[in-house]
């Protein structure tokens, strides 16, 4: 099957060995496309799959290492031929080859696998494939992808996808990208999705439930472009149980305006559409995926706490899903930006302004122990709330120092220049240097906020 080649910004990013998830990923090859053919039987939570992986060798390969957790590979081929042997241990599948794949050569790997998928338990709690009361949820961040397909599980290794899912009739599997085919066969249905933008493995998802799909109003053409011939509104979809659709629509009533606000602040929405999945189960936190967010039934209550979470997950489509970190130590480039998006939405919605939200966050952080560097917090603290809030304060400090016009122009240039790509602190620092007149340098400005432990004071606002 032909597929769209990945964009250079994401696909050719260097592999940075990740000390936060040291046993994940491989620097020996780069995947360009995943073709997944899955059969999911909900009654026994049974998953059987065939993964056909297209990749390029970055060094001569005598063996190929992949991430696969909790499922057993039963047949493995490389370039259509049997391999010498395979081994599985501690979440790694190693394919030993009869003859090497030369450096620079494209190759394909076909793996048939199956079993009863389950979550991975570790530093960040439970991640991966989770059986719900009536369906399935996948939480991929940061290392949950291998619980449902074999992969090169590293955030910098972006690829295109085709995901075909056979499952019980009456259930809708929601996955990334565009639904290109749906066929019913007796008591089973087959759904096929295609993702043509580069996507990190942890952002691939599969949500299965008794979901109906409906539309929310799209963003206005004025907000999307503000000129004749502006882009069409962004389609916004909801997948939820039919009995919950009215409550879901009410809870998400402000989301179209959030989309308009973020398009104006951050630049064009990076994907073809946006889907919110609402599970019948309660979830501890919402989840983001490529073009998708997942909320629990408990996230439908009115009030700021729920609205900020809806805004937070939407903003991840820019910061995290289009612009994805090259290693997890830079997690603030996802979460700090998404937290700051909450404050931007608060201001746009007529609530407390971003400056008021920032000063409240500063007071809170000043009262807490200051013992992590948010620019490299360590694996145990990568999802600590201080990373979110101090990352957001870093952005607000830039805004105060540079002024609104220059700050938001810098943000829009950032999302535009790195669209569907891989980002790092060094890239952001250099981008800020090129776009904002900070003295003496962006590094001198950013270092105390991101790598010092003592909380800096917020600067005075720039002169108008």
pLDDT tens column, 241-288: 999 998 999 999 999 999 999 999 999 999 999 999 999 999 999 999
**pLDDT per residue over 230-248, tens digit each?**
567 899 999 999 999 989 9
Q: What is the CA 458 to chain-centroid distance, rounded? A: 30
Per-residue confidence (pLDDT) for residue 8, from 0 to 100: 40
What is the mean pLDDT of the segment spanning 155-161? 97
Where does 124-277 have alpha helices with state H?
Answer: 221-224, 245-251, 255-266
Q: How confident is the model at residue 224 (pLDDT cuts 50, 70, 90)?
A: very low
278, β-bridge pairs: 295
What is the mean pLDDT of the segment spanning 117-125? 93
Sheet holding 212-216: strands in order across?
212-216, 236-240, 274-278, 292-295, 287-289
Q: How many Cβ atoms are within 10 Å of 63's Cβ, its own excluded?
A: 17
Q: Check: CB of residue 251 under 8 Å from CB of residue 244.
A: no
Distance separating alpha carbons of residues 295 and 279, to the nearest angstrom:
6
State the pTM of this model. Answer: 0.93
Query: Per-residue pLDDT for 6 more than 70?
Result: no
Q: How confident is the model at residue 227 (pLDDT cuts 50, 70, 90)?
A: very low
Per-residue confidence (pLDDT) for residue 9, from 0 to 100: 42
Q: How confident is the model at residue 419 (pLDDT cuts 50, 70, 90)?
A: very high
**pLDDT per residue over 366-418, tens digit each?**
999 999 999 999 999 999 999 999 999 999 999 999 999 999 999 999 999 99
Distance separating alpha carbons of residues 392 and 357, to the nearest angstrom:
10
Q: Check: CB of residue 429 under 8 Å from CB of residue 443.
A: yes
Does residue 440 have a cis peptide bond before it, meaning omega lies within 30 degrees of 0? yes
Per-residue confidence (pLDDT) for residue 5, from 0 to 100: 38
Where does 167-315 have alpha helices with state H?
Answer: 221-224, 245-251, 255-266, 304-315
Per-residue confidence (pLDDT) for residue 24, from 0 to 100: 95
| Residue 302 Rama label (left phi>0; alpha psi -120 to 50; beta) | beta
Phi, psi (deg, nearest 5) at residue 274: -140, 125
| Residue 266 Rama label (left phi>0; alpha psi -120 to 50; beta) | alpha
**pLDDT per residue over 426-444, tens digit each?**
999 999 999 998 989 999 9
User: Structure tokens of 404?
Assistant: 């609104």
Per-residue confidence (pLDDT) for residue 231, from 0 to 100: 65
Distance separating alpha carbons of residues 124 and 321, to the nearest angstrom:
20
Q: How confident is the model at residue 460 (pLDDT cuts 50, 70, 90)?
A: confident
What is the mean pLDDT of the segment spanning 198-210? 98
Least Cα distance to 313 among 336, 326, 295 occurs for 295
**Neighbouring residues of 297: CB distance < 8 A, sequence distance ≥ 6:** 244, 278, 279, 280, 281, 282
**pLDDT per residue over 288-336, tens digit each?**
999 999 999 999 988 999 999 999 999 999 999 999 999 999 999 999 9
Query: Per-residue pLDDT for 223 more than 50?
Result: no
Query: Per-residue pLDDT for 464 more than 90?
Result: no
Per-residue confidence (pLDDT) for residue 439, from 0 to 100: 85
Where does 103-226 have alpha helices with state H?
Answer: 221-224
**pLDDT per residue over 441-451, tens digit each?**
999 999 999 99
Least Cα distance to 281 among 361, 209, 380, 356 occurs for 209
User: Structure tokens of 243?
Assistant: 């009995």
**Neighbouring residues of 76: CB distance < 8 A, sequence distance ≥ 6:** 82, 83, 86, 93, 95, 109, 110, 111, 112
For strands 29-41 and 159-168, give the pairing. parallel
What is the mean pLDDT of the segment spanning 69-80? 98
């Amino acid at each position: 099957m032909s597929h769209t080649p990945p964009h250079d910004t994401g696909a050719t990013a260097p592999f940075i060995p990740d000390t936060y998830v040291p046993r994940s990923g491989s620097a020996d090859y780069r995947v360009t496309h995943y073709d997944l053919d899955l059969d999911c039987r909900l009654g026994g939570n049974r998953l059987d799959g065939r993964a056909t992986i297209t990749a390029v060798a970055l060094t001569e390969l005598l063996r190929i290492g992949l991430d696969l957790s909790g499922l057993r590979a039963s047949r493995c081929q490389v370039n259509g031929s049997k391999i010498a042997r395979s081994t599985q241990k501690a979440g790694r599948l190693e394919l030993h080859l009869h003859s090497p794949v030369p450096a620079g050569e494209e190759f394909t790997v076909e793996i048939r696998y199956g079993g009863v998928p389950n979550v991975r338990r570790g530093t960040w709690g439970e991640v991966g494939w989770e059986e719900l009361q009536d369906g399935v949820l996948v939480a991929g961040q940061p290392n949950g992808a291998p619980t449902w397909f074999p992969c090169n599980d590293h955030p910098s290794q972006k690829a295109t996808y085709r995901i075909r899912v056979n499952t019980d009739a009456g259930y809708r599997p929601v996955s990334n990208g565009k639904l290109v085919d749906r066929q019913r066969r007796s008591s089973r249905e087959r759904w096929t999705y295609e993702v043509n933008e580069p996507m990190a493995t942890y952002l691939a998802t599969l949500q299965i439930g008794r979901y109906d799909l409906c539309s929310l109003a799209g963003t206005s053409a004025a907000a999307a472009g503000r000129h004749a011939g502006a882009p069409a509104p962004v389609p916004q979809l909801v997948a939820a149980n039919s009995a919950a659709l009215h409550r879901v629509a009410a809870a998400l009533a402000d989301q179209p305006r959030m989309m308009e606000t973020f398009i104006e602040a951050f630049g064009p929405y990076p994907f073809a559409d946006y889907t919110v999945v609402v599970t019948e189960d309660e979830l501890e936190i919402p989840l983001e995926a490529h073009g998708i967010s997942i909320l629990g039934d408990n996230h439908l209550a009115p009030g700021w706490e729920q609205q900020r979470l809806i805004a937070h997950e939407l903003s991840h489509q820019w910061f995290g899903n289009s612009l994805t970190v090259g290693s997890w130590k830079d997690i603030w480039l996802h979460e700090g930006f998404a937290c700051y998006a909450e404050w931007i939405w608060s201001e746009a919605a007529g609530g407390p302004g971003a400056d008021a939200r920032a000063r409240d966050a500063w007071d809170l952080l000043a009262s807490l122990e200051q013992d992590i560097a948010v620019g490299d917090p360590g694996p145990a603290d990568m999802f600590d709330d201080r990373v979110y809030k101090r990352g957001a304060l870093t952005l607000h400090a830039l805004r105060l120092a540079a002024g609104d016009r220059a700050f938001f122009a810098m943000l829009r240039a950032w999302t535009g220049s790195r669209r569907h790509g891989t980002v790092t602190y060094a890239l952001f620092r250099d981008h800020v240097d090129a776009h904002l007149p900070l003295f003496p340098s962006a590094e001198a400005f950013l270092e105390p906020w991101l790598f010092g432990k003592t909380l800096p004071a917020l600067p005075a606002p720039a002169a108008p």
